[in-house]
Structure 1
């Protein structure tokens, strides 16, 4: 019943309103727009009137559509329900349509659109004054046309909203307490808020219009835009600004303006921060507000706390609404209502003040007037920086492109930044094609780094220490034009101090350098294993006093010269006594005393130590661990390159997670599993450390550096790596336990638990260095291995029985039952059947790189030999050394392991020192004896004697 009454009341209201809208359209809007199109085509206020006309017709169409639907339902005299009242079920559509209309209407008022429309149309409006009187009861001849238009185009619509509200209020009273009460109550509130909204926007528009009339033409032309509204004026609510001689402060809905005479400063509210925290300031300062903007900071001072509070609230409300991109509904809440504006924002801004950022455009995150977070900074000269910012400075990961003067090329810095400067790990691709990967400090290359020039003109690669952007300290230089590698000390970009030069032809020498020039005497190792000690030129010509030791032990000592066309000449003494052993000549080792292993690659270790000493803080993590960037030369020349992203993380994203997980793995198996993952991760600190050490090792000993005279340097380096990594792991563990509040594990306890660098670290890291290291071992033991291989080839010609006889293996130990003969075979011709399981076991020696695993294979081989003998003798047989050596010799000859000398010496050099004197040491000594015995027999028994023995 009450729904039907409300519908009938709404129907009558709408019928009257539609007639009113039709008269306004016919008598006012159509003639007005026709005059506008003919006289003021393209003017700003004309566009506003056209937009207002569009919203007017939208409301008209909506009202008419719903009037017809409602009339149809009322006419059939059925009982209506609330869902038939379209002002309820189409509430959002009605509210948004009225808001759009009155927003546009207010823009016309504020921008003085009706005043502009009334100008130069006096004759037109004279004929229409009679029509306007139909709408205005108090319209007189003195009433201005702008006022008349203002009233006609809003009064009827505003009154109609009020009628909607009254209908809903009466409806709510009629239905009393029922399930539909809340629906009607909420709708009544929304239409009431709409009335409040209309009042507020009209008041603001009128105040803004009055402000524009009070300001000079210069200020009005610069500041007046239709959507702008004045929210507060220091003439109405006094406040003073500390910027220059400010006469007036104006707060608009989008900007804050300080007026100084005929000039002004404006600040976009999206980049205005209001600091009202002054409780700790002296009494006079408590009535101030600190205003922070990107390029200026000033204070607003009020005389009374109430004035300060109003300004503070209005500023915050205006900033919130500017950030949201729309005005609140209603426009203003009650005092103290609403949230504080966010401190962190995203905006685009062009800097204008003098300084390094002048005319630069920043787009990104802000905090308290400064770039803070992720953003993009672009200068007019083409410079670009994309990355992390902190308090206005580049801080964190960032990519910077700096254009070169010509050829459309860039220097690209992909670095970690600290307070505006490059610091920590970085990758720099220069416009001249050179690439640097390493560490920085204060924009300069500092610490460990690799600089490479891959171009065809003067190609080179430097891997080593930097100081103040110059090569200083220990480093390796590859001169690809000359085919040389320099390993040694540097100072101020020059070779300075002890250095080793390795040539592509296989020769190498060690000299003292001073500012790139060789001084004093040195040692030169020739391809034929001759050794020269003395002075020589860079093209390896002997000059002055020197001593030449030939590979056979002969020596020539005297003065050398090389005259043009006459070849090498000498005056001296030739000694043919051959006092020196051949091995001592051919296996001379360089660099051991001049480059102590603990002083090589300090830049790699320093970065890790600094990281640990700083408590592994997350803000320093990236500067050590570095990053991965997907890039290409094509992207590098485009703006898309600025937005490349980091690659996926491998094991853990944050150092806190790394330390937490570290504590959980302290047993040998669990720890090795964890460290294996850590070493494979390029983001884990230990993985990053291993990667840097691997690059340094490869730069030194691969390619040209594969020279047998560098073996001892290389193998002691690998052992030192294991000790340092173990030491750094202990440091991380100590820090992790400390952060967890647990007592640290003492080093002595660790050693007692058999956990050490050789047991835990070396097996995991050795695969990274093994290819280069084993190559050096093969070159170093090449002659012995050649003799050994010749012996193996000849021993392979023996049958099993003949070989067992030749090696003096006791016959009761022969496993002859293993030999399966056919009628056409003689026992003396059957081969490779005895001790087959031991032979196959020993052959696995080359399948692993871990010295401990190699020793375990050797022990397994011994057990297989002993097991076979026990089976043959049908009792538990413990082999004495006299029986073991010939049997092991037999297995070694049948296993045919290449480079066995290199394998044996690698195991001996890198095995755990705790194994010395134990079973592993004993078995390795036995294997060495077999290896040496085969070589010795080759020296003492020429090949023809072996053939005679075989035939016998």
Structure 2
């Protein structure tokens, strides 16, 4: 059975549906047929009427759907339950449809859409007075049709909502207490009550807004009036005063706060308005007020009393929350209730164009805000094409950021991918310039400062690469310049972008010289080393032409002191004395053949690299500065310039994500024992994210830039050798500095760890073997070039000695026969000599050959010691007793093993071991064995020995 309330609801829906039809015929159709709009205001009017008509149609469709379910219920109450009624089943659809309708309706009221729409056909609408009266009870005959029109489009709908409330409440009371439809009816009634509240408030705000426009001048109305804008508070009703800015009137709308001063005004987007009830002493003295913060203005709004202050503060806060949520002014809905107690969030995401701030003038910022300032991640775009994407802090670029700066025409940019500190580039950065040159290095105050690498495009007319120290955007201090066009490399001092001070120039042809430079010009005498090892001391031009007095020392020891001048055509003119007294080169000549030793003290060469790391230590290794000082890993694809998308440090490596400095410092004190420390250092130095690994990476790049390619010149060997040793000491000092910071942070004193610290191996012994592989390719190449002549003689000696069979070679070396391993040979008549000699002292030979499989001098010495042990063990087996070889017996046997091992570049290996070995081994067993190996190397080089042996071989072959 259907209840009387359901029948009443059916009748109400039928009546309302018929009413909607008549309104559509008498009002909407004539309004929409008013003709084409002639101006922008008429176009806006027509747009709103169309939207209102569409929403009106949705209400019509919903009413039809509700009526349909009611009729189904009345016709088949047994099959259609009360809960299936559309009004009970889906009340939110009705609420949303009515809400949208009245939002558009009030917009029409605010901008006087109905008055403008009926103005063209005023006679028609006056003729409709009687027709319109049927819809309203409060329309008199004197009321014009146009004036009654807004009421016709509002009152029937509000009356029907009231009917919904009454009928639903009666329906809830009529059904049983436990009936499932009771709760639905009561809930639906409550939601329509909420809708009534919303409609009343929306109509009230629209009426107040329309009234405001009538009190303002046309200029203000044209600037401020919009369909979606609603007046929420007016200082003429609740007085409030703005200070220190002057304002005759303060208006709060649902989207902006407006300060009116005469015929001018200021608007503040509520999304970027912050309010603070707490004020300082100056602000408190001005009355009951609160602080208002905007991106470019800060002022106070002060009321006469606490009630006025609370009213304005609440209204402004509520309006800000609604503006940020993106909702219309609908405080009557459930989700908008209880807004008074909610404070607007301090952190926001908004778009804003600056007008007065000098640094950001006319720039548009899109990103995160905090209390009126850009704070977090965001993007700045200037009208001139500049673009900054990155981190901001308290209104300034702070953190990692990417800035594009237009450079001339053709859509070219300078791209800065750097760390920023309080609005300026500070720390490590990568800059890709419009000419396709790239700078990777450190900045300070927006200028290149400290260590950095500047490299041109390979396609540039004069390609170059500079690695060194910068001061205020100019090359200054020690640095390496490679002129790829001339095939030259300059190693030396700079000042204000000019070569200034001592410098070395290495050419692609192998010629190198050392001169004093002044503003890029060579001054005074210098040293010039030619390919044939001739040495010239004196003045010469950049084209290497001798001028003035000078001295040439030839490779054979002869020297020429003379005055030189360029002649006509090729060659030069000279007049002097040629000294032909044959004598070996004195030590002074040898020193002069190693350039830069005194000119560039090793401690001063790469201060720009160490400075950044020392600052990091001195500031106690702050986590926020880890990337600023130590660099970062970032993609450098050119597509970045086009897409301008936001890129931060590459975090694809999970190890990099976890490699926080606090974790590194926490782990450091746990590795104090020598073995644990060595493993830790080995891992840290290989890591691309550990500070020690970053430092080693930079030093390696500097070393390669100096000594690889053109820089692979034998006259730079001592220079390179000093650097490697110094790097080991500096890395150890950096580790010690990090350890001090770690101990301090963990409240551990140095005294507690003093014993362990003293037991640590020094840097030379612990760090050098770990870092040497990084420098080894370039360093060993220098050793090979320096000892090339000796190694060639040695190779020829090895080639000659390879012609000897084992027994004959042992005999020529005067090895006592009782020491020969004959029992191991078991000679037969058909056995080849090559197979025989491969078996003699084979284990010792194999041990010695392993010396080239490692770059660690200590491991090389261990291989040498093992070779000695194998020789001694072989002899002991031959003698069938333990035997300690005296030097007289060891040297010829070692010469035999060296000749059979056939190690290439043995001279370079020996001298590298000698120069890089731990000083603790000097004078010990390792030193003794290395000296023995040196004697063997020198012995094999001797020409008279090789000739004597070759003669013996030929005689033996003749006998065979």
Where on the TM-score scale, by shorter chain, does this alignment land: which range? over 0.9
In the alignment, structure 1 residue 933 sits paired with structure 2 residue 939:
yes
Offset of 1:499 from its aligned partner? 1.5
Query: Equivalent residues in 2 for 1:837-876 (5 A)?
Result: 837-876=843-882
Structure 1 position 609, deviation (Å): 0.9
Taking the aligned partners of 1:155 and 1:946, their CA distance within structure 2 comes to: 131
Deviation at 1:674, TM superposition (A): 4.5
Asked if 1:45 corresponds to 2:45, the answer is yes
* Separation (CA, whole Å) in 1 of partners of 2:934 and 2:955: 24
Residue in structure 1 matched with residue 745 of structure 2 by the alignment: 739
**1:389-400, aligned counterparts within 5 Å?**
389-400=392-403
- Of the structure 1 ranges 524-533 and 747-756, higher mean CA displacement relative to structure 2 is found in 747-756
Q: Please give the alpha-carbon distance, in whole angstroms, between the structure 1 residues aligned to 2:726 and 2:125.
A: 99
What residue is the counterpart of 2:325 in the other structure? 324
Please state how far the C-alpha of 1:193 moved relative to its aligned partner: 1.8
Rate the CA distance shift 1:534–1:160 in 2: closer, same or farther, 3 A. same
Are 2:420 and 1:414 aligned?
Answer: no
Does structure 1 residue 164 correspond to structure 2 residue 164? yes
Q: Secondary structure at the match of 1:743?
A: coil
Distance, in Å, in 2 between the alignment partners of 1:751 and 1:663 is 11
**2:577 aligned residue (563, 573, 576):** 573
Q: 1:134 to 1:917 in 2, by over 3 A?
A: same
SS at match of 2:595: coil
Q: For 1:342 and 1:77, locate their aligned partners in 2 and report how far apart those are by CA, in whole Å.
A: 52
Aligned residues: 949
SS in 1 for 2:360: coil
Distance 1:577 1:436 in 2: 54
- Residue 828 of structure 1 deviates from its aligned partner by 9.3
Unaligned segments of structure 2, at least 5 residues: none
Pairwise mapping of residues 85-104 of structure 1 onto structure 2 (< 5 A)? 85-104=85-104
The CA deviation at 1:607 is 0.9
1:702-851 superposed matches below 5 A: 702-744=708-750, 749=755, 752-819=758-825, 821=827, 824-825=830-831, 830-851=836-857
> Counterpart of 1:294?
295
2:499–2:520: 8 Å Cα contact kept in structure 1? yes
Distance in 2, Cα, partners of 1:792 & 1:347:
79
Moved more, 378-387 or 71-80: 71-80
State the shift of 1:880 in Å. Answer: 4.0
> Deviation of residue 644 (structure 1)?
4.5
The answer to whether the 8 Å contact 2:274/2:292 transfers is yes
**Pairing partner for 1:615 from 612, 620, 624:** 620
CA contact (8 A) 1:815 1:872 kept: yes
Could you say which residue in structure 2 is the equivalent of 1:524?
A: 528
After superposition, give the CA deviation of every residue in 1:640-677 in whole Å (9 maximum; x if it has no partner): 13545543354334433333344454455554555445
The question of 1:548 aligning with 2:552 is answered yes
Tell me the CA shift for residue 307 of structure 1: 1.2
Paired with 1:394 and 1:269, the residues of 2 have a C-alpha distance of 24
CA distance change for structure 1 residues 486 and 311 in 2, over 3 Å: closer, same or farther? same
Assess, with a 3 A threshold, how the Cα gap between structure 1 residues 280 and 649 changes in structure 2: closer, same or farther.
farther
Given that 2:240 and 2:301 are in contact with CA atoms closer than 8 Å, whether structure 1 keeps it comes out as: yes
Shift of residue 97 of structure 1? Answer: 1.3
How many angstroms does 1:548 deviate by? 2.3
Tell me the residue number matched to 2:893.
887
Q: Which of residues 585, 592, 613 is equivalent to 2:597?
A: 592
Q: Secondary structure, in 3 states, of the residue corresponding to 1:652?
A: helix
1:347 is the counterpart of 2:350: yes
Mapped to 1, the partners of 2:176 and 2:859 lie a distance apart of: 91
The aligned counterpart of 2:206 is 205
Aligned CA distance change for structure 1 residues 383 and 863 (closer, same or farther; 3 Å): same
> How far did residue 226 of structure 1 move?
0.9
Deviation at 1:822, TM superposition (A): 5.3
TM-score, normalised by the number of residues in structure 1: 0.93
Residues 29-61 of structure 1 deviation map (CA, whole Å, 9 limit, x = unaligned): 333333466999953222212211111111111
Task: For 1:674-685, list aligned pairs within 5 A.
Answer: 674-685=680-691
Contact persistence 2:318–2:339 (CA under 8 A): no
Q: 1:476 aligns with which of 465, 474, 480?
A: 480
Aligned match of 2:519 in 505, 515, 520? 515
- Equivalent residue, structure 2, for 1:506: 510
Q: 2:624, 2:666 → 1: CA distance?
A: 17
Change (3 A) 1:842 1:82: farther
Shift of 1:316: 1.4
SS in 1 for 2:431: strand
The range that moved more, 680-689 or 768-777, is: 680-689
The SS at the match of 1:496 is strand
Moved more, 717-726 or 682-691: 682-691
Cα offset, 1:854, TM superposition: 1.9
Query: For 2:187 and 2:866, how far apart are their aligned partners in 1?
Result: 87
Unaligned stretches of 5+ residues in structure 1: none
Tell me, yes or no, if the aligned pair for 1:802 and 1:828 is still in contact at 8 Å.
no
Match status 1:18 vs 2:17? yes
Alpha-carbon distance change, 281 to 569 in structure 1, aligned in 2, over 3 angstroms = same
SS at match of 2:220: helix
Shift in Å, 1:501: 1.8
Q: Shift of the alpha carbon at 1:195?
A: 1.9
Q: Are residues 1:627 and 2:632 paired?
A: yes
| 1:301-341 deviation per Cα after TM superposition (whole angstroms, max 9, x unaligned) | 22212211221121111111111111475348677734322
Partner of 2:542: 538
User: How far is 1:144 from its partner?
Assistant: 4.4
Task: After TM superposition, give the deviation of residue 794 of structure 1 in Å.
Answer: 1.6
What's the offset of the Cα at 1:934? 1.8
Aligned-residue offset at 1:227: 0.8
Other-structure match for 1:377: 380
Change (3 A) 1:83 1:329: farther
Shift of 1:214: 1.7
Cα separation, partners in 2 of 1:464 and 1:283, compared to 1, 3 Å: closer
CA distance in 2, matches of 1:827, 1:429: 65
Q: Distance in 1 between matches of 2:835 and 2:77?
A: 121
Cα offsets for 1:788-825 (capped at 9, x unmatched): 11111122222222222233334344333433655522
What SS class does the counterpart of residue 809 from structure 1 fall into? coil
Deviates more, 1:165-174 or 1:422-431: 165-174
Q: What is residue 33 of structure 2 aligned with on the other side?
A: 34
* Alpha-carbon distance in 2 for matches of 1:838, 1:669: 30
CA distance in 1, matches of 2:340, 2:245: 33
Residue 787 of structure 1 contacts residue 938 of structure 1 at CA under 8 Å; is this kept in 2? no
**1:4-27 C-alpha deviation (Å, 9 max, x unpaired):** 666455434323332332232233
Q: Structure 1's 747 and 494: CA in aligned 2 closer, same or farther, altered over 3 A?
A: farther
Alpha-carbon separation, structure 2, partners of 1:828 and 1:284: 108
CA deviation string 1:550-579 (max 9, x = no partner): 212223334334443594444443333344
Residue number in structure 1 paired with 2:121? 121
In structure 1, distance between residues paired with 2:754 and 2:836: 57
| C-alpha spacing 1:525/1:163, structure 2 compared with 1 (3 Å) | same
1:775, CA displacement in angstroms? 0.5
Structure 2 vs 1, CA of residues 657 and 329 (structure 1 numbering), >3 Å: closer, same or farther? Answer: farther
Q: RMSD value over aligned CA atoms?
A: 3.0
Q: Report the TM-score when normalising by structure 2.
A: 0.92
- Work out whether 1:641 is the aligned partner of 2:640: no
Q: Secondary structure at the match of 1:16?
A: helix
Shift in alpha-carbon separation, 1:887–1:396, aligned structure 2, 3 A: same
Counterparts of residues 143-542 of structure 1 (less than 5 Å): 143-170=143-170, 172-173=172-173, 174-176=175-177, 186-242=187-243, 244-278=245-279, 283-285=284-286, 287-327=288-328, 330-331=331-332, 337-353=340-356, 355-454=358-457, 455-542=459-546
Displacement of 1:356 after TM fit? Answer: 3.8
CA distance in 2, matches of 1:113, 1:826: 115
Task: Judge conservation of contact 1:444–1:468 (CA < 8 Å) in 2.
Answer: yes
